[in-house]
Amino acid sequence: MVKKKMKKSKYNIEVKHKDKNLIFNTKTRNCIILDNDEWTRYEGISAEYEKELSDLGIYVNDFDDEYEEIVDIINSNIARDNETIRSHTIYTTTYCNAHCHYCFEDSFVRESMSLQTANKIVDYILGRQGNSKKLYVIWFGGEPLLNVNVIDVIAKKLKKSLPSDVEFRSSIYTNGVLFSDKLIEHAVAEWNLKAVQITIDGLKTTYENIKGYNFDNGFDLVIERIRAIIKAGIRIQIRINYDDNNVNEILELIDVLSDLLPQKKDVVVYANKIFRSDTDNSKKSSAINDFTIFKKLVECGFCRDILGSIKNNFNTCLAGSEYSKLYLPSGYIIKCDRDCKSIVGNLDGETNQDELSKWKVNRINVMCRDCKVFPLCGGGCIYEFINGKKGCMNSEELVKMKLQYYLDTL
């Protein structure tokens, strides 16, 4: 029998510190550290290491096409999720009590959902549940809490109508300032609310300027509300929006949040770069800023596992899932909150196939074939891809910096 030839996986990322050499495989997420002598043998595809390193995915067979294997995994995950999970994002309103300049919904018509549309959405959702045992609803806006009646109607009717073996849970994207203690309690009991995402864009002055509330001390109020949400046992994510121009302020903000929110284990804080027309997250300058913020999150205790933060994404974004839909207050259906003009259907079951097919096109960029972080990214943002951009949601540079940081601190 001819012995199989081995090669290094194309998804190995390697960093070095003194005589320690770290190899991290982005597909398997296995990590090993070798001394210089072992490294030389690894480089030479040593027969002595073949079994161990192929078990870790760090060596692969010479004829393996790892890229195609990942594409197959992504496709089978899409098919599996289409069978098992229904995810519906409901814009209760496009009105908002804040005035963030970056809000994509500036292009949205301002309207609130009527109770009649809310009832129609429930019928539509129930009619598409099939045999799926999970139903996730995201309350979205505008500020979704400006239209609590609609949330009440939808949640109540879904809970009453769904079979008992279907798990129904909801989450909300809110600025948080309307979440009174009483409303939080109500949301847990009546909406099966399990998670809240709140965005903070800067220190007190910046935050209050960006939000432009018609009351003072919005920053203090949102921190108080975050504490109340944590106390109620709801999972909270604080999203920090940043761009390459406000990194220093964001670093200060993380320090402030660290002092104000000692319950760090109950809070996920993550920084998200605001998409701009010229943004390419794979650029080195972006990666340096991303890493600087990441390091601060680690130092402040918001991230406790450096390697754990390098996660696989063998999935498409929600826009790529057939059963993931967003419902505007009018009842029109879209696929992604960044493209409210792409109406793919309505609650009467009519579908615009041309628009729908845009989100189904073979969206994986040709550049992904040679990208070492493809197993962490899953092919990027479909909206960006449709608009002729790369839409990278990860970067090899950033992963390398995290690995170097991990190795240096061992």
Q: Is residue 317 a contact point for ligand SF4 (CB under 6 A)?
A: yes
Smallest distance, ligand SF4 to C-beta of residue 23, A: 19
Give me 274's structure tokens: 């605001």
| Separation between Cα atoms, residue 176 and residue 406, nearest integer Å | 35
Smallest distance, ligand SF4 to C-beta of residue 187, A: 24
Q: Is residue 391 a contact point for ligand SF4 (CB under 6 A)?
A: yes
Q: Is residue 287 a contact point for ligand SF4 (CB under 6 A)?
A: no
Single-letter amino acid code for the residue at 281: N
Q: Is residue 283 a contact point for ligand SF4 (CB under 6 A)?
A: no
List Cβ<8 Å contacts ≥24 apart for 364-371: 364/71, 364/74, 365/390, 365/391, 368/67, 369/67, 370/10, 371/396
| Separation between Cα atoms, residue 149 and residue 190, nearest integer Å | 12
Q: Which of the ranges 112-120, 184-192, 343-351, 379-387 carries the binding residues for ligand SF4, by CB under 6 A? A: 379-387
Largest CA distance in the chain: 78
Q: Is residue 219 a contact point for ligand SF4 (CB under 6 A)?
A: no
3-state secondary structure of 30: coil
Number of residues that bind ligand SF4 (CB under 6 A): 23
Give me 391's structure tokens: 């839409």
Nearer to ligand SF4 by Cβ, of 207 and 374: the residue is 374
Q: Is residue 361 a contact point for ligand SF4 (CB under 6 A)?
A: no
Q: Is residue 394 a contact point for ligand SF4 (CB under 6 A)?
A: yes
Nearer to ligand SF4 by Cβ, of 218 and 379: the residue is 379
Residue 149 near residue 115, CB atoms below 8 Å: yes
Q: Which of the ranges 56-64, 69-77, 220-228, 382-390 carries the binding residues for ligand SF4, by CB under 6 A? A: 382-390
Nearer to ligand SF4 by Cβ, of 294 and 383: the residue is 383
234 to 196, 239, 292, 304, 319: CA distances (angstroms): 7, 16, 29, 20, 26
Pick from 56, 365, 400, 403 the residue near ligand SF4 by CB under 6 A. 365
* 3-state SS track over 154-212: HHHHHHHHCCCCCEEEEEEECCCCCCCHHHHHHHHHHCCEEEEEEEECCCHHHHHHHHC
Q: Is residue 34 a contact point for ligand SF4 (CB under 6 A)?
A: no
Smallest distance, ligand SF4 to C-beta of residue 17, A: 25
Nearer to ligand SF4 by Cβ, of 238 and 368: the residue is 368
Pick from 377, 398, 403, 407 the residue near ligand SF4 by CB under 6 A. 377
Q: Which of the ranges 41-49, 55-63, 164-172, 368-376 carries the binding residues for ligand SF4, by CB under 6 A? A: 368-376
Q: Is residue 138 a contact point for ligand SF4 (CB under 6 A)?
A: no
Give me 300's structure tokens: 């402040």
Write down the number of H helices and E strands in the chain.
Answer: 14, 13
Q: Is residue 326 a contact point for ligand SF4 (CB under 6 A)?
A: no
Q: Is residue 374 a contact point for ligand SF4 (CB under 6 A)?
A: yes
- Does an H or E element contain 98, and which? none
Smallest distance, ligand SF4 to C-beta of residue 132, A: 20
Single-letter amino acid code for the residue at 48: E
**Residues contributing to the site for ligand SF4 (CB under 6 A):** 282, 317-319, 336, 338, 365, 367-368, 371, 373-374, 377, 379-383, 390-394
